[in-house]
Structure 1
Amino acid sequence: MGIRTATLLLAGLAWCGVLVAAAGVFNVKDYGARGDGTTDDTKAFMDAWTAACGARGWSATLLVPAAKSFLVGPTRFSGPCASSRIIVQVMGTITAPPARPWSEKNYWLMFYQVHGLTVTGGSTGLLDGRGGTWWGDKCKRHAALVVMNCADVELSQFSSKNSPQMHIAVSQSSKVHLTQLTITAPWNSPNTDGVHIDRSQDVRVTRSTIGTGDDCISIGPGSQFVTVDGIVCGPGHGVSAGSLGRKGATESVEYIDVKNVQFINTANGARIKTWQGGKGYARSISFTDINFTNVDHPVVINQFYVDRRDVPNMGAVALSNITYTNLKGTTRYKTAVEFDCSESGSCTNIHVNSVAITAAYGGETVARCQNAQGDTSGYVYPKIPCLR
């Protein structure tokens, strides 16, 4: 092959590559989205998704351009898709409508049965759930972004604010990584969990800042192999495993690793909560390298979580192999550690190693402990009376 022929061939391949790359990007504006913050762009988003999901090749990208605000109603982005990886690039703002137009749904944006999904943004990417239109209403509030029945998912580098209820819910999914997220809602906004995980496996939440009116991260029934690493939490209700066993249900979580978390001005810190009368188990849960700053209740096990509408049953969710290592900082109140376990002997193998939690106001701290079985090692303050 001559030099001129080879050069032309390479140029042609490069030109084709540019066309293929361009063809793999589906801009919502090309499908009719206005991005003026008032026009309903739901259909344009659905049409762009249909095109992107059906595109063949290694990847396809749905682009939400910067410097625009797109009003989008409740939308389910369904798979499976033709490409190995589908990318949703959120550079602008996606805004929810007021409460009433979508009150019949239990989600705002849902990705369903998508394998190989990336939702990412940048400094400008934002989901605005307009939760203020919901929080004072007695009607059921809804999750903002739901990942359901998906696998091989990454959510990264975007912000979510003011969700009606949970900001991000991961359900019945596997191999999900949430990283470099900023999630915010007022401290008094009801049920606005930052990230909720249930019935999912191999989920990681890393390098994110979360401040809401409920749990920064809640790890619900059926979750296994969940890692929380490098989180700044506050305001909020901490990182919670549970609640489990409501209305006597049999539920479980296991292999939960929470580490390198800063709790700042939160109601709770490292918390495990189960409903009174529940069944099942929560086991192999660790909290490591945790720092508390002015936290109301830094370390909590509560097996007496109740609802006045429930009739408590006998028994409790069995807790075992719970490990706390290198916890330090300050508490707003005197009680720094609360292990409230059932008389049924369902709190076993509780291991506490190296804890130093002092009072933010300068006084001493204490631990309240009942029916917990386990041991301590290293320097532990306050002393936990029911552990060896």
Structure 2
Amino acid sequence: MGAAGFICTGILLVFSFAVSSAGGEPVFNVVGFGARGNGIADDTKAFEAAWAAACSTSAPSVTMAVPPWRAFLVGPVQFRGPCAPQKITMLVLGAIVAPPAGAWKWSIGKADHWLMFYRVDGLRVTGNGVLDGNGQSWWIRRCTTSGCVRSAPTALMVEQCNNLELSGFTSKNSPQMHVAVLNSISVHVEHLTIIAPRDSPNTDGIHIGHCTDVHILNSNIGTGDDCVSISSGSRFVTVHGIVCGPGHGVSIGSLGKNGAVAAVEYIEVSNVHFFNTLYGARIKTWQGGEGYAKSISFTDIVFINVENPVLITQFYRASDVAVQGAVAINNITYSGLIGTSRQPTAVDFDCSTAGSCTEIHVNNMRITGPAGLSGTVARCQNVQGDTSGYVYPRIPCLT
């Protein structure tokens, strides 16, 4: 048994106590604070009480434990800091289940999130347990013949939490976004499993906004929207080793809605496999936006039956009003892209006449039709840049 096994065994041995220790670290067990874990009783107050105790203890490092082999019904809740310990872990070994849409718990909670951590530095959410957002009950209520209403909660929202780690757990069937990390510095996300049907609306896997120094690694994500989305205010973000499908790919944006000023830079996306997704490597900005998206690379990417493998659009949900501005897209590199496209157009660079798509570099790319039996083409307008190495399909507006 490795070190991790000994730690988990030690924690399991103290699960019968409200407050105990594993390896000298205080452990706050939600069952000891009154949680039933039968999937029926409301365990929200027990989780709040366990968090309050863990957050206020004087130890340098503490754990709030959610034990295995149980399902804890928890309504919308905020786990707020700052906390006294320098490091605080929520160890999720069982299942945490959201109440269905329309349940009375939602009438007294905030509708934009289910589980929220706010201003908790040194936070670690880990374990092999499950966050079950009960999204099916929301998707049915939100979608009609006229479209879907974007009013469901994000499953796990983390805001202003520096030195953050999210690892190991599974998030399934979120009402809307699965994981959203906002306004945080030094974020490490690894070995997550994120699951939702391909037709589930707006169920982005991991969303990053206004964050710096972010690493999203070695995770499996299949959803009804972006597997990873990176929005304005984000810089120095690495996405590596992701398996994406179904979903809408890895997206930079959308940026510049309603004329907003966007800023995204130093983004590295590498070793990503897209399977049967709607999009692959995508940058999307609203017509009329301002600011920039620059120094972005997509490297060693594999597309398998992807409908739109490579896309830049400056007309994302274009406004009804004619506007001239555009978010400047600069220094974008595509290198080592291979695979198959479901549609004839494998590369689509659709930029405005504002001259805002510059230094677009494509190096070594081969994207063919399904099973390599038919050819593909590239479409582009108002793009400045170059190609090198073997590039197929040929991109006519790049030298």
Q: TM-score range by the shorter chain?
A: over 0.9
Q: Which of 127, 132, 137 is equivalent to 1:128?
A: 132
What amino acid maps onto 1:260 in structure 2? N
Residue 175 of structure 1, CA deviation? 0.5
1:81 aligns with 2:91: no
Report if the CA contact (8 A) 1:41-1:70 is conserved: yes
Provide the alpha-carbon RMSD of the alignment.
1.3
How many angstroms apart in 2 are the aligned matches of 1:176 and 1:91?
A: 22
- Count of equivalent residues: 368
Larger Rg: 1
Runs of 4+ in 1 over 3 A off after TM superposition: 18-23
The answer as to 2:232 corresponding to 1:232 is: no
Which residue does the alignment assign to 2:172?
161
Task: Name the residue aligned to 1:346.
Answer: 356
1:311 shift after superposition: 3.1
Secondary structure of 1:134's aligned partner: helix
Say which of 331, 339, 343 aligns to 2:341.
331
Q: Does 58-67 or 298-307 show the bigger shift?
A: 298-307
Alpha-carbon distance change, 189 to 168 in structure 1, aligned in 2, over 3 angstroms: same
8 Å CA contact retained: 2:111, 2:152 = no
Note closer, same or farther for the CA distance 1:379–1:19 as it changes in structure 2 (3 Å cut).
closer
Q: Which consecutive residues of structure 2, in runs of 5 or more, have no partner in the other structure?
A: 1-19, 143-148
Q: Which residue of 1 aligns with 2:156?
A: 145
Work out which of the residue numbers 267, 285, 304 in structure 2 matches 1:274. Answer: 285
Distance 1:267 1:48, change over 3 A: same
Residues 144-196 of structure 1: CA distance to partner in whole angstroms, max 9, x if unpaired?
Answer: 00110110000000000000000000001110111000000000000000000
Structure 1 range deviating more: 93-102 or 350-359: 93-102
* Bigger mean CA deviation after superposition, 288-297 or 53-62: 53-62
- Does the 8 Å contact 1:36/1:70 carry over to 2? yes
Deviations 1:206-231 (A, max 9, x none): 00000000000000111111100000
Matches within 5 A, 1:83-232: 83-100=85-102, 101=104, 102=106, 104-122=110-128, 125-138=129-142, 140-232=151-243
Could you list the per-position Cα deviations for residues 68-118 of structure 1 after superposition, in whole angstroms to 9, with x for gaps in the alignment?
A: 000000010001111111000000000000112316421000000000011
Name the CA distance, whole Å, in 2 between partners of 1:342 and 1:223. 23
Letter in 1 for 2:133: G
> Is the CA contact (8 Å cut-off) linking 2:21 and 2:27 kept in structure 1?
no
User: CA, structure 1 residues 177+20, in 2 after alignment: closer, same or farther (shift >3 Å)?
Assistant: closer
Could you say what secondary structure the match of 1:44 adopts? helix
In structure 2, the residue matched to 1:33 is 35
Is 1:384–2:395 an aligned residue pair? yes
Which is further off, 286-295 or 131-140? 131-140
- For the residue of structure 1 that corresponds to 2:141, the secondary structure is coil
Tell me how far apart the structure 1 counterparts of residues 25 and 231 of structure 2 sit (CA, whole Å).
Answer: 41
| Alignment check: 8 A CA contact 2:76 2:114 kept | yes
Counterpart of 2:28 in structure 1: which amino acid?
F
CA distance in 2, matches of 1:20, 1:295: 47
Distance (whole Å) between structure 1 residues aligned to residue 248 and residue 21 of structure 2: 49
Contact map agreement 1:247 1:312 (CA 8 A) in 2: no
1:295 aligned to which of 306, 320, 331: 306
Quote the Cα distance in structure 1 between the aligned partners of 2:114 and 2:25. 28
CA-CA distance at 1:268 after TM superposition = 0.3
The alpha carbon displacement at 1:247 in A equals 1.0
Against the structure 1 CA distance between its residues 23 and 295, is the aligned structure 2 distance closer, same or farther, given a 3 Å change threshold?
Answer: closer
Kept after mapping to 2: 8 A contact 1:60/1:85: yes
Per the TM alignment, residue 307 of structure 1 is displaced from its structure 2 partner at its CA by 5.1
Q: How far apart, in 1, do the equivalents of 2:300 and 2:188 lie?
A: 21
Change (3 A) 1:66 1:269: same
Quickly say closer, same or farther: Cα 1:50–1:21, change in 2 above 3 A: farther
Where does residue 366 of structure 2 map in the other structure?
Answer: 356
State the Cα distance separating 1:276 from its structure 2 match. Answer: 0.8
Match of 2:265 in 1: 254
Kept in 1, the 8 Å contact 2:25–2:63? The answer is no
**3-state SS of 2:364 partner:** strand
Structure 2 length-normalised TM: 0.90
Aligned partners of 1:247 and 1:311 also within 8 Å:
no
What percent of counterpart residues are identical?
Answer: 60
Q: Which residue type is aligned with residue 355 of structure 2?
A: G
Secondary structure of the 1:136 match is helix
Paired residue type of 1:187: R
1:19 Cα deviation after fit: 5.7
TM-score (norm 1): 0.93
Letter in 2 for 1:313: V
Q: Tell me which residue corresponds to 2:17.
A: none
What SS does structure 2 have at the residue aligned with 1:277?
coil
**Separation of aligned partners in 1, 2:325 and 2:341:** 32
Can you list the C-alpha shifts for 1:1-35, whole angstroms capped at 9, x where unaligned? Answer: xxxxxxxxxxxxxxxxx968567000000000000
Distance, in Å, in 2 between the alignment partners of 1:150 and 1:284 is 26
